[in-house]
């Protein structure tokens, strides 16, 4: 190779390297500016029609899962937002989906299993700081919710002081910290189906379900301008849920596949993990199979059934079919498996059910 060619090649390499290093930074800066322009201070709900919009902020279960947060469904009813359960990681999903924390009216806990409330501290914090609250967030839940909320507030007390000191009480309004508990307490199962929240066009009802040995576990029904959504919470197969859900547009029902959980248990037992095998043997008796959830949706006459709180969560498309088993044969409507980031929209006074994936 002659010297001239070598010189030219070295020059090209140097110039290319400089462009690569500084060009990348330039492209990165433009990408960041575009992202900021699109998201910061922009109402991500501005394009949504008036109606009910359900954010799947957590489709998982107590089993750790990199892709699925713990159980969480958030509902936007017109201008008002509600969160139903707040499992681990779910508040981050809500933020990523553009949920308007400043319009969060209340949180509801279906029951007090930890996987349904691990994110409660984070939710109260986001409602306070991102949501700009000056009164505590109303939190509806079964007896014991007061102890849970007290505990989270104690855990966050030090952080509260830091934030007020740093941002000032005009921004971190001291009165907006934490939660204010509204207990939902049905004295017996006779007093089923009851209104627990009413405001303008929004009605929220609760139904005690069967998740024994958990003392109180509720399903919720949210109604707004002719549209309705039912959230099962955790329950074994409960035919009364079909009556509660009668005529609902969409049912979000928990689901556990007993055969798959059985297989997991067998494998764990064969490998000497008796405790985990015992847990796998225990859990099918207080959850609902996909087929039974489909029966509930069929009897209720729902337009769509979305299975969430998936145990075990199918890790691939092929395995989703195994998880569903014969559920599709039991239900004439649309059957979906929830994924984090999914949004289900029900425009007011229509029959439409639209699915979208925001993440």
Residues tagged active-site: 115
CB atoms near residue 20 (< 10 Å): 10
- Choosing from 65, 118, 223, 234, the residue that interacts with Zn ion (CB under 5 A) is 234
Q: Which is nearer to Zn ion, 234 or 292 (CB)?
A: 234
Cβ neighbours for 246, distance < 8 A, ≥ 6 positions apart: 300, 301
Least distance (Å) from Zn ion to the CB of residue 326? 24
Phi, psi of 30 (to 5 degrees): -65, -40
Could you give the CA distance from residue 307 to residue 289 in angstroms, rounded to a whole number?
10
Distance CA 252, CA 74 (A): 12
Quick check: 43 and 65 in contact, CB under 8 A? no
Q: Is 113 in the site for Zn ion (CB under 5 A)?
A: yes
Q: Residue 178 or 233: which CB sits closer to Zn ion?
A: 233
Q: Which stretch binds Zn ion (CB under 5 A): 12-20, 109-117, 195-203, 314-322?
A: 109-117
List CB contacts of 44: < 8 A, sequence separation 6 or more: 97, 98, 99, 100
Residue 288 CB, nearest approach to Zn ion (Å): 12
> Judged by CB, which is closer to Zn ion: 115, or 336?
115
| 336 in contact with Zn ion (CB under 5 A) | no
Q: Considering only 195-203, 232-240, 274-282, 316-324, which stretch makes contact with Zn ion by CB under 5 A?
A: 232-240
Does position 249 bind Zn ion by CB under 5 A?
no
CA distances from residue 347 to 64, 222, 250, 273 in whole angstroms, order as listed: 34, 14, 13, 49
- From 48-56, 98-106, 111-119, 260-268, give the range in contact with Zn ion by CB under 5 A: 111-119
68 binds Zn ion (CB under 5 A): no
Residue (72 or 302) nearer to Zn ion, CB: 72
The interface region with Zn ion, picked from 121-129, 158-166, 233-241, 262-270 by CB under 5 A, is 233-241
Candidate ranges 17-25, 46-54, 113-121, 122-130; the one touching Zn ion (CB under 5 A): 113-121
Q: Report the DSSP pairing between strands 250-256 and 304-311.
A: parallel
Least Å distance, CB 211 to Zn ion, is: 6
The smaller minimum CB distance to Zn ion, of residues 113 and 221, is found at 113
The reply to whether 85 sits near Zn ion by the rule CB under 5 A is: no
Binding of residue 340 to Zn ion (CB under 5 A) = no
| H or E element that contains 244 | helix 240-244
Residue 223 touching Zn ion (CB under 5 A):
no
**Size, binding site for Zn ion by CB under 5 A:** 3
Q: Is 236 in the site for Zn ion (CB under 5 A)?
A: no
Structure token pair of residue 127: 């409602």
How many residues in total does the chain contain? 359
Could you tell me if 111 and 234 are in contact, meaning their C-beta atoms sit under 8 angstroms apart? yes
The helix-helix angle for 120-128 and 145-167 (nearest 10°) equals 40
Choose among 304, 315, 311: nearest CA to 290.
311
From residue 175, alpha-carbon distances to 91, 107, 125, 131 in Å are 21, 17, 12, 13
Shortest distance, position 209 Cβ to Zn ion, whole Å: 10
Q: Is 133 in the site for Zn ion (CB under 5 A)?
A: no
Nearer to Zn ion, 61 or 126 (CB): 61
Reading phi first (left if > 0) and then psi (alpha if -120 to 50, else beta), residue 302 is in beta
Q: Closest distance between Zn ion and the C-beta of residue 233, in Å?
A: 8
Q: Which residues bind Zn ion (CB under 5 A)?
A: 113, 115, 234
């Amino acid at each position: 190779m002659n010297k001239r060619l070598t010189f030219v090649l070295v020059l090209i390499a140097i110039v290319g390297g400089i462009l690569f290093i500084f060009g990348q930074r330039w492209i990165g800066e433009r990408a960041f500016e575009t992202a900021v322009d699109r998201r910061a201070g922009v109402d991500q709900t501005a394009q949504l029609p008036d109606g009910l919009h359900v954010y799947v902020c957590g489709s998982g279960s107590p089993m750790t899962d990199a892709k699925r947060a713990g159980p969480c469904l958030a509902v936007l009813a017109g201008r008002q937002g509600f969160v139903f359960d707040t499992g681990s990681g779910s508040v981050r999903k809500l933020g990523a989906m553009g949920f308007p924390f400043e319009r969060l009216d209340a949180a509801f806990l279906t029951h007090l299993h930890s996987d349904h409330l691990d994110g409660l501290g984070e939710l109260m914090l986001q409602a306070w700081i991102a949501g700009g609250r000056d009164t505590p967030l109303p939190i509806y839940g079964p007896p014991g919710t007061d102890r849970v909320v007290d505990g989270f507030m104690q855990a966050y007390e030090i952080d509260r002081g830091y934030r007020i000191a740093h941002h000032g009480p005009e921004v971190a309004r001291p009165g907006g910290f934490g939660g204010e508990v509204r207990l939902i307490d049905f004295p017996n199962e006779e007093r089923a189906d009851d209104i627990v929240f009413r405001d303008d066009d929004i009605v929220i009802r609760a139904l005690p379900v069967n998740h024994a040995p958990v003392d109180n576990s509720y399903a919720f029904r949210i109604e707004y301008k002719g549209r309705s959504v039912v959230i099962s919470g955790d329950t074994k197969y409960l035919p009364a849920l079909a009556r509660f859900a009668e005529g609902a547009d969409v049912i979000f029902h928990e689901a556990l596949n007993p055969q798959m959980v059985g297989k997991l248990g067998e494998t764990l037992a064969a490998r000497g993990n008796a405790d985990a095998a015992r847990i796998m043997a225990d859990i099918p008796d207080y959850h609902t199979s996909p087929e039974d959830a489909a029966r509930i949706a069929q009897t209720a006459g729902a337009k769509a059934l979305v299975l969430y709180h998936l145990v075990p969560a199918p890790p691939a498309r092929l395995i989703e079919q195994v998880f569903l088993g014969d559920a599709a044969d039991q239900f004439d409507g649309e059957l979906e498996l929830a994924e984090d980031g999914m949004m289900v929209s029900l425009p007011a006074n229509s029959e439409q059910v639209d699915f979208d994936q925001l993440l």
